[in-house]
Amino acid sequence: MSDISESMESLYSACNMQSDTVPLLQNGQHARSQPPAPGPRPAQPQVSPRQRVQRSQPVHILAVRRLQEEDQQFRTSSLPAIPNPFPELCGSSGAGSSPALPPGSFPPNQPPPKQDVKVFSEDGTSKVVEILADMTARDLCQLLVYKSHCVDDNSWTLVEHHPHLGLERCLEDHELVVQVEGTMASESKFLFRKNYAKYEFFKNPMNFFPEQMVTWCQQSNGSQSQLLQNFLNSSSCPEIQGFLHVKELGRKSWKKLYVCLRRSGLYCSTKGTSKEPRHLQLLADLEDSNIFTLISGKKQYSAPTDHGLCIKPNKVRNEAKELRLLCAEDEQGRMCWMTAFRLLKYGMLLYQNYRIPQQRKALLSPFSTPVRSVSENSLVAMDFSGQTGRVIDNPAEAQSAALEEGHAWRKRSMRMNMLGSQSPLHPTSINAVIHRTQHWFHGRISREESHRIIKQQGLVDGLFLLRDSQSNPKAFVLTLCHHQKIKNFQILPCEDDGQTFFTLDDGNTKFSDLIQLVDFYQLNKGVLPCKLKHHCIRVAL
């Protein structure tokens, strides 16, 4: 991973140096000027400046100030002086000074245009936000995070949702919201959602690009350290290849074809797996299109698999006939095609979007930790087990002492309630409902719904949620993503000395409530395939 970071940083710095002098095209590639043809230049006749301007010849574009100076010199040297016809508008300093017009004679500066945008959350609530015309998707997400009092971990995204077409996609951070809304139909809407897999391919590229699907048109190194660098470098030509189910335009039938994705577009082979130019046929263009995920491809389009994707031209709003519908065999194949499409379309812009939040976090790191009060800073860990107290200097010992104190507090509270002390809630009742206040608990949802939420928020390792079990009313289910596959683990209650515990491994590890269970498996893998890292969250706007 260090090799990937170093190679990407070198390419990123090189592109930043080029961006100072070379214009940037829409797809993130730099425009390169053609070098002059070799050979001696023909002698040109000497002409006056006035003749050079009057003749229909290309003129070098100079700086604005220099053009103004030459224009003023040209006017004063070749044209006669014209008296000022309105001397009363000039100031007392003479005819050459600027006119002293009263305030309000010129129209005021027009403020940048604003527009109302309606954004929906996963639970159906919505919020109307007034934004500027040049606001990007990342800026709008930060505004919604601020208004909804969420934690900004750079994983919030704005989703373009088309329910009538069964399509949705996450907007790139640099895309203009108003511009995207102009290509949407009246039934379409924006969703505010988490997407942890938005830039995951920069961290683990080999999980997104299998070796059998990636080839290079030029002789280049296809190792892991050079994989993304070849994608982002405009001089190299990466290519994604493999079989896809393609829906024929205007028909309901699907055909399995050998397809390859290049910078110029998506092509299919008319003769087996041949990639000769005479056997390649253009399926879709990358320039004025975007790639979407099929929400319910089997139900709406009779797709052969659940891993559908779509290349939608920006001009298409309601016409499903002009959509290029595709289907992959598995989820890894679909993620490979969609990620390659984004990289080939936007290039270095994606890496800039990925690096900007990290650079901001590095700048704010000295101030990110909360300021503690003086009384809290003066507190130290103490051990009162002996005759005299002592200060615990070892941090590990202090942490274990805090855990023991927490367990002792729970036992004391149980003992006091058993003796008949006044308590508003019994500890067992608190342990049974306290997890319902957590964002990772989604209540009584079905197995299919939990899988859908996991897929929506990104198939990354450690993404999880907890829900009520449908088969056992006293149990719970942990839904976890690992290696782009979703697995379910049942959490069963068990009793020990009259107290109810929760366990994930048949009683080997017991927890008094689900919060303790989640906290433990966020630090320890245990019987799970990976640690709990990201939790699925739904925020009401």
What is the band of 379 on the pLDDT scale with cuts at 50, 70, 90? low
Say what the pLDDT of residue 409 is.
Answer: 45
> What tokens does 271 get?
């003769």
What tokens appear for 362 in the block?
């590095």
Q: Both ends of the chain: CA-CA distance in Å? A: 38
Choose between 255 and 43: higher pLDDT. 255
Tokens describing residue 451 = 């899988």
Indicate the fold that domain 200-288+303-314+321-362 takes in CATH. Answer: PH-domain like (2.30.29)
Instruction: Please report how many Cα atoms fall inside a 13 Å half-sphere around the Cα of residue 284, on the Cβ side.
Output: 26
**What are the pLDDT digits (tens) for 87-139?**
655 554 444 444 555 555 556 666 678 899 999 998 888 999 999 999 999 99
The answer to whether residue 369 scores a pLDDT higher than 70 is: no
Residue 367 is predicted with a pLDDT of 46
Distance CA 447, CA 424 (A): 35
Determine the Cα–Cα distance for residues 318 and 391; give it in Å rounded to an integer.
Answer: 71
d(CA 333, CA 335): 5
Buried b (16+ CB within 10 A) or exposed e, 365-392: eeeeeeeeeeeeeeeebeeeeeeeeeeb
Give the pairing type, strands 382-383 and 324-327: unpaired
Beta bridge partners of residue 90, listed in sequence order = 99
- At 212 the three-state DSSP class reads helix
CB 100 within 8 A of CB 123: no
Q: What is the DSSP letter of 438?
A: S
Read off the pLDDT of residues 138-156 as tens digits, 9 standing for 90 and up.
999 999 999 888 888 889 9
- What is 434-535's CATH number? 3.30.505.10
Residue 113 DSSP label: P
Residue 255 has pLDDT above 60, yes or no: yes
What fold characterizes domain 114-194?
A: Ubiquitin-like (UB roll) (3.10.20)
- CA 29, distance to chain mean position in Å, is 20
Q: Which pLDDT score, from 0 to 100, does residue 453 have?
A: 93
When pLDDT is cut at 50, 70 and 90, the band that residue 46 belongs to is: low
Pick 377 or 488 by higher pLDDT: 488
CB atoms within 10 A of CB 342: 21
Q: Does the pLDDT of residue 29 top 50, yes or no?
A: no
Are the C-beta atoms of residues 330 and 307 closer than 8 Å to each other?
yes
Q: Six-digit token pair at 359?
A: 């650079």
pLDDT value for 462: 95
Of 18-27, 243-252, 477-486, 518-527, the one with minimum mean pLDDT is 18-27
Give bridge partners of residue 479 from the DSSP assignment: 465, 488
pLDDT tens sequence across 450-480:
999 999 999 999 999 999 999 888 899 999 9
Which amino acid, residue 201? F
Q: How far is CA 511 from CA 373, 500, 505, in A?
A: 33, 9, 11
Q: For residue range 331-356, what is the model confidence (pLDDT) as tens digits?
A: 989 999 999 999 989 988 999 999 88
Return the pLDDT at 317: 84
Exposed, middle or buried, 136 (CB in 10 Å: 0-12/13-18/19+)? Answer: buried
3-state secondary structure of 86: coil
Beta bridge partners of 501: 494
Strand stretches in 99-201, DSSP E: 114-120, 126-132, 156-162, 167-170, 189-194
pTM, full prediction? 0.69
Lowest-confidence range among 50-64, 79-93, 243-257, 309-323? 50-64
pLDDT of residue 473: 87
Backbone dihedral region for residue 154 (phi beyond 0: left; psi -120 to 50: alpha; all else: beta): left
- HSE-CB at 261 with a 13 A cutoff on CA atoms is 24
Residue length of the chain: 541
Q: What tokens were used for 3?
A: 């090799």
Which tokens go with 325? Answer: 């519908």
Give domain limits for the chain: 114-194, 200-288+303-314+321-362, 434-535
Calculate the CA dihedral of residues 225, 229, 235, 240 and round it to 10 degrees.
Answer: 90
The string of pLDDT tens digits covering residues 497-541 is 778 889 998 888 889 889 999 999 999 989 999 999 999 988 888
The SS3 call for residue 372 is coil
Mean pLDDT, range 483-492, rounded to an integer: 93
Percent share of the chain, pLDDT over 70: 65
